Amino acid sequence: MAEAETALGYEQARDELIEVVRKLEAGGTSLEDSLALWERGEELAKVCRHWLEGARARLDSALATREAADGE
């Protein structure tokens, strides 16, 4: 993932992805523009997945630490 993409916060990427989807659903764009929007949407979806996977890993780690502490 490019550094500029990872600099996007989850909310920023999500909001831009929503806008890309709206534009694609509205239609009226050329094939070239539609493809560019689709590619941008794929990039934004990757950014969102990256953030969500990181959040899941942090939650899993916190839960494992808590369970280990409870087991002592």
Residue ranges making up the domain that contains 18: 10-23+30-71
For the chain, what is the domain count?
Answer: 1
pLDDT of residue 71: 79
**Residue 60: which CATH number?**
1.10.287
pLDDT of residue 2: 60
Residue 55 belongs to a domain:
yes
Q: Residue 43: is its pLDDT beyond 70?
A: yes
> Which of these, 52, 44, 43, lies nearest to 14 by C-alpha position?
44
- Give the torsion sign (CA, 60, 66, 70, 72): positive
Q: Distance between CA atoms of 54 and 19, rounded to whole angstroms?
A: 24
Answer yes or no: are the C-beta atoms of 46 and 1 closer than 8 Å: yes
Residue 17 belongs to a domain:
yes
Residue 53 belongs to a domain:
yes
Neighbouring residues of 48: CB distance < 8 A, sequence distance ≥ 6: 10, 13, 14, 17
Residue 5 belongs to a domain:
no
Residue 1 belongs to a domain:
no
pLDDT of residue 12: 97
pLDDT of residue 7: 86
